[in-house]
Structure 1
């Protein structure tokens, strides 16, 4: 009986050791999986933060934060702008003047701002862009400003009879003047006398 009991006990101990080893392996595997998931989550969060600091293309149905007109995706897209608000919201503008007016209404600042380089149609940081005003620019809301990443490109463009060098202060003053009761812009970019710059209802820009 004692020998039989000892055999049963040894079998029980061995079985317990095997089960324990299996359970330990499962736990380690699960822990590795949890660590991988945690690392993946951290990477995704990091990517989200990085995305907020970089420009992106607007969606097809994106509308201007200020005037509610559709953001153009054709040749007029070179006049568009975008920004990230202090709350982290991405907003788009169909014309640079709409950006300055929206910024004024928001208290004077966005976290990040971008405009399009007139030469390449690529996004560039607004604060370092070189500004050119041209009466021949038929921009979506008629502000008539273009931006260049390279100063040499801006200087070359200013050689045109209708263009002149400008700056962001000019854009802001122009926008504030129009919003304050001077000249309202129609969808073709032509001036209309109005009592103020009322925001438009959702719609599309007329063909140019």
Structure 2
């Protein structure tokens, strides 16, 4: 009788492990709707590009961000929220990947939507190739937690000047242009 009970419990535990393992692989980020999706931090439109990031909470709620720095700022401000998954896009292919599997490059001259100057790559080799060509420093997912997440003030000033020229001088409307991303 005890052996039958142990076998049933063992099967139940193994089933839960298999279900948990499969569910991690099956989780995909939500598609970005450029017309309606806004960054949770800066409230700017989120483009479906190499800078987009996404968080999925344990309760199923999904949030999108226009810059990896905005995503980290949100996580730092919402430590009480349980993040189940976080996604970033590969800078080259624009394909989604789990944030904890990516490699990252930080360099002050890298232009990102909110001037945090961090981009993500599928693997360390791709990130290192970018560094070899353009400069920068390699960051792991673990190092991102200790990154300063300071915005590049010179870049912000430059973006504001472009906005003033674009919207007639009042600087109230900020638009992401392809030029400001590269």
- CA distance, structure 2, for counterparts of residue 187 and residue 114 of structure 1: 29
Q: Give the C-alpha shift of residue 186 in structure 1.
A: 3.5
Normalising by structure 2, report the TM-score: 0.65
Normalising by structure 1, report the TM-score: 0.58
- CA distance, structure 1, for counterparts of residue 148 and residue 64 of structure 2: 19
Provide the alpha-carbon RMSD of the alignment. 3.2
Query: Structure 2 stretches of 5 or more lacking a match?
Result: 1-22, 161-171
Q: Give the C-alpha shift of residue 126 in structure 1.
A: 0.2
Larger Rg: 1
Is residue 30–residue 62 contact of structure 2 (8 Å, CA) maintained in 1? no
Counterpart of 2:115 (choices 142, 153, 174) is 142
| Equivalent residues in 2 for 1:67-78, closer than 5 Å | 67-73=42-48, 77-78=49-50
Alpha carbons of 1:122 and 1:189: their partners in 2 closer, same or farther (altered >3 Å)? farther
Counterpart of 1:157 (choices 101, 126, 130) is 130
SS of match in other structure, 1:160: helix
Q: Give the C-alpha shift of residue 86 in structure 1.
A: 2.6
Per-residue CA distance 1:119-167 (angstroms, 9 max, x = gap): 2110011011111113332100011111111221112112135322123
SS of match in other structure, 2:133: coil
Q: Give the C-alpha shift of residue 102 in structure 1.
A: 0.5
SS of match in other structure, 1:147: strand
Corresponding residue of 1:88: 60
SS of match in other structure, 1:101: helix
- CA distance, structure 1, for counterparts of residue 116 and residue 38 of structure 2: 18
Corresponding residue of 1:63: 38
Q: Give the C-alpha shift of residue 171 in structure 1.
A: 3.9
Is residue 113–residue 176 contact of structure 2 (8 Å, CA) maintained in 1? yes
Is residue 97–residue 171 contact of structure 1 (8 Å, CA) maintained in 2? no
Corresponding residue of 1:204: 175
- CA distance, structure 2, for counterparts of residue 162 and residue 145 of structure 1: 12
